[in-house]
Structure 1
Amino acid sequence: MSIIYSFDSRPNADQIIELYDNCGLPRPTNDKERIQKMFDNSNLIVTAWHNDLLVGVSRSITDWVWSCYLADLAIRQEYKKAGIGRHLIKLTKDKVGEQSMVLLLSVPTAMEYYPKVGFVKQESSFILNRADWQ
């Protein structure tokens, strides 16, 4: 299986929605305009493609010198355990460089995944929640 990774190939909203629904990532996939804005306003996106099929995405917001918020990591269900997520994280980290940390908020189902790929669990975060989108 040949996976192509890209910083330049931006998926459209329909491809993103289909991927997020496939992998069970809780995002507002019933709101195509909002999904499109999420990607339009992100400044570091890495995609993984198998032929023309979007099989993975890493979507981040970064200042390039201090912090990078990894907002979404999504891997198509049938491609999980193939190292795609790990490689998307590596490409993200490589792109922001050594001066920048990569941080994220994990969905409950991925809490055991992130330590396996090098993330350290933190107890020092706070959140102001958004209004319900469901």
Structure 2
Amino acid sequence: MTLEYRTDAPVTAAQYVDALDRSTLGERRPTDDLAVFERALAASNLLVTAWDGTLLVGFARALTDFELMCYLQDLGVDAGYQRRGIGLELQRLMRAQLGPHCKVRLSAAPAAADYYPGIGYRRHDRSWELLPGDPLG
């Protein structure tokens, strides 16, 4: 297996949704609505991908100012390619794009909660979320 890692590869919404489904992240995303992912990909300003030929097998998609904060929105690897260091390499390449003061934050998928402490992430207990439909105020 020879993988190619890219920071400049265009990714279609269909490719992304297919990769989400193969990584199991699709279980928690509205993958039946490609327009959502077209907009999400267009608004993301950092995308690192792993390719096996023309097949997208891994991705790290983030929103960042590149200097202070990077929110890792999605980190996924095709289930058939997991446990080969692909996710770690995607994060290394993502982090290489960031300035020296930039923090990385994420919300772990339930199945991945034990993965992140093992590679150096620290637990952050001061995050909050407002879900769609929740009243504000």
Q: TM-score category by the smaller chain?
A: over 0.9
Provide, for residues 60-90 of structure 1, a one-character-per-residue CA deviation record: whole Å limited to 9, x for no partner.
Answer: 0001110000000010010000100000011
Are the structure 2 counterparts of residues 15 and 131 from structure 1 closer, same or farther at C-alpha, using a change threshold of 3 Å?
farther
Gaps of 5+ in 1: none
- Aligned-partner Cα distance in 2 for 1:69–1:28: 20
3-state SS of paired residue (2:35): helix
Aligned pairs, number: 132
Q: Is the Cα contact below 8 Å between 2:45 and 2:62 reproduced in 1?
A: yes
Q: Is the Cα contact below 8 Å between 2:23 and 2:78 reproduced in 1?
A: yes
Gaps of 5+ in 2: none
The match for 1:71 among 65, 73, 98 is 73
Q: TM-score, normalised by structure 2?
A: 0.92
Which residue of 2 is the match for residue 125 of structure 1? 127
Q: Is the Cα contact below 8 Å between 1:10 and 1:47 reproduced in 2?
A: no
Which residue of 1 is the match for residue 29 of structure 2? 27
Which residue of 2 is the match for residue 12 of structure 1? 12
The match for 1:48 among 47, 50, 58 is 50
- Aligned-partner Cα distance in 1 for 2:133–2:60: 24
Are the structure 2 counterparts of residues 84 and 125 from structure 1 closer, same or farther at C-alpha, using a change threshold of 3 Å?
same
Which residue of 2 is the match for residue 110 of structure 1? 112
Give 1:83-94 correspondences, 5 Å limit: 83-94=85-96
